[in-house]
Amino acid sequence: MAARRYAPEGALVLAAFLFGITFVLVGDALDDVTPAAFLVLRFALAVVVLAPVAVVSSRTAASRTAASPPRPPATPPPDRRTLVRVGAVAGVLLFGGFAAQTVGLQDTSPATSAFITGLFVIFTPFVQAVVDRAWPPASVVVCAGLAAFGLYLLTGADLGVGRGEVATLICAVMFAVWIVYQGRNATRVPPIPFTTVQMAVLVVVGLPWLAVAGVGDLTATAWLAVAVTGIACSAVALTLQLWGQRRIPAPRAALILLLEPVFAGVVSVLVGERIGAIELLGAGVILVAIALAERGPRRPRGARPRAAR
């Protein structure tokens, strides 16, 4: 019973874990292949993996609805127009975040980029507040600020402001909007088809960028990174994130996802890098912020109770 209660948080932690452990691998791959090629290939692979599952999921949901019409399902039957519309918007937002992050990386350090990108944890409660037309709870704002401070200590970011920092700040805002948008639409369509449409849209939008930027050198390291991130991060982790967001508020989901740099730091230690006391303190502060946030409500406002599975 307890395991089921914390399943949404567990899904988000696992998603953050998969994002974090591939950080080093992606960094090595981008020494060979262009960011445009990496993103297009990664998400194209995710579409190939998810598409058959999405088709089966949609048909199963439709057949269940037809078999038991009196009781409304936990997930509504897949409306193709709604699925395509919300999936397309989410895909464009996700592409905008990745594109802005990549542009920013050309003019700023990886540590600074990681810190500014992680500021989505600050922006998410305020984006949610605008959508809900209600000021976010003080506890949420405090936890988000505490987590951002921990992220600063963990990454050792340079707080100078330049073109790269501004681009990365736009990335953080885009990710915050994407998290809130995805959370608000998560219960309207099945998670796997929703994720699949997002990935397909990202690939289509990214093709012109790929045509301009080129491919680079598709080395064995690059292909390994594409395969691992395409399956583990895109097909699996993003689906887990969406499933988790169906059950908990977007601001708290953003806090849990901030575990990504913590897991990335653990992997860095395992591959031989040294982390100092300040970085360890930063990771601890992030964990404390998440623990405090977990004392909040366990279900988004307006969400339906889960059906037994």
pTM metric for this prediction: 0.79
Please give the pLDDT value at position 203.
94
Is the Cβ–Cβ distance between 125 and 296 less than 8 Å?
Answer: no
What CA dihedral angle connects 74, 80, 86 and 90, to 10 degrees? 100
Token pair 């088709």 is at which residue?
55
Enumerate the domain spans of the chain.
8-61+79-293
How many residues are listed for the chain in this entry? 309
User: b/e for 110-129, b at 16 or more Cβ within 10 A?
Assistant: eebbbbbbbbbbbbbbbbbb
Distance CA 192, CA 90 (A): 14
Is the Cβ–Cβ distance between 285 and 147 less than 8 Å?
Answer: yes
Counting Cα atoms < 13 Å in the Cβ hemisphere of 295 gives 9
Task: Please give the single-letter amino acid code of residue 247.
Answer: R
* Cα end-to-end distance, the chain, whole Å: 13
In order along its 309 residues, the chain shows pLDDT tens digits of 555 777 888 899 999 888 888 877 887 888 888 888 998 999 999 999 999 988 877 666 555 555 555 555 555 555 788 888 999 999 999 999 888 887 787 677 777 777 888 888 889 888 988 888 888 788 888 888 888 888 888 877 777 778 888 888 899 999 999 999 988 888 888 888 888 999 999 999 999 999 998 999 999 999 999 999 899 988 899 889 888 888 888 888 888 888 888 887 777 777 667 777 888 888 888 888 888 877 655 444 444 433 333
Please give the pLDDT value at position 61.
59
Distance CA 253, CA 299 (A): 11
Distance CA 163, CA 2 (A): 47
| Paired strand residues for 33 | 216
Please give the pLDDT value at position 63.
59
